[in-house]
Chain A
Amino acid sequence: GIQVEQSPPDLILQEGANSTLRCNFSDSVNNLQWFHQNPWGQLINLFYIPSGTKQNGRLSATTVATERYSLLYISSSQTTDSGVYFCAAPYSGAGSYQLTFGKGTKLSVIP
């Protein structure tokens, strides 16, 4: 099945700083999602982004499908951005619907 790798595994930011999280995947995909897992475990959908660039407030994401990576940008970080960020891609490649998750990036934003 597809391999999904995220970097960095841990990230500590001062409030107000910007950051870039990376997700590499081993096979071609036709969908990719970014999630934020809050301290209670809930997965919050951030982006559904098979390709191209999307923006939502201080967050934006870019997926370059041909090069098999996706980036999540967080600008002007806030303490509420803390948590674990996951990217996920289809389980066996382009045609399936289960998701394989990366190991996540744990973000800590300090005041």
Chain B
Amino acid sequence: GAVVSQHPSRVICKSGTSVKIECRSLDFQATTMFWYRQFPKQSLMLMATSNEGSKATYEQGVEKDKFLINHASLTLSTLTVTSAHPEDSSFYICSARPEMNTEAFFGQGTRLTVV
């Protein structure tokens, strides 16, 4: 299957700092990527849809100024958590599809801890 790589896998940061998470499609081009968040013992919730060359689309209740998404190329989307606070601590995971309406593949996820 297709490979989606996410980096870093784990990050600890101080409250008030910003953290950037990268999501790369390694063997296909992705005009659209998706960012999900998962709190402990809960399911995955879609945060935003990242569109190459245009603005991201955010789900209701997700602050676009806090979660900055940049999809600068056909293989890379980044999620920056700005001015992180302890309540932003979560598991963030990205996804992409080689073609529309085909199987989705997920990155390894990033566990963010804000202290």
Contacts and interface: CB of A to CB of B under 8 A. Distances in A.
B69 interface: no
A86 interface: yes
A33 B93 CA distance: 16
Contacts of A41: 38, 91, 93, 108-109, 111
Contacts of B1: 45
A86 B44 contact: yes
Interface in A40-86: 40-43, 45, 48, 86
Interface in A1-45: 30-31, 33, 35, 40-43, 45
A97 B46 contact: no
Contacts, number: 54
A84 to B, nearest CB: 9
B43 A99 contact: no
Interface of A: 30-31, 33, 35, 40-43, 45, 48, 86, 88, 91, 97-104
15 contacts: A31-B102, A33-B104, A40-B109, A41-B93, A42-B109, A88-B44, A97-B32, A97-B97, A97-B100, A98-B34, A99-B34, A99-B46, A100-B46, A101-B45, A102-B43
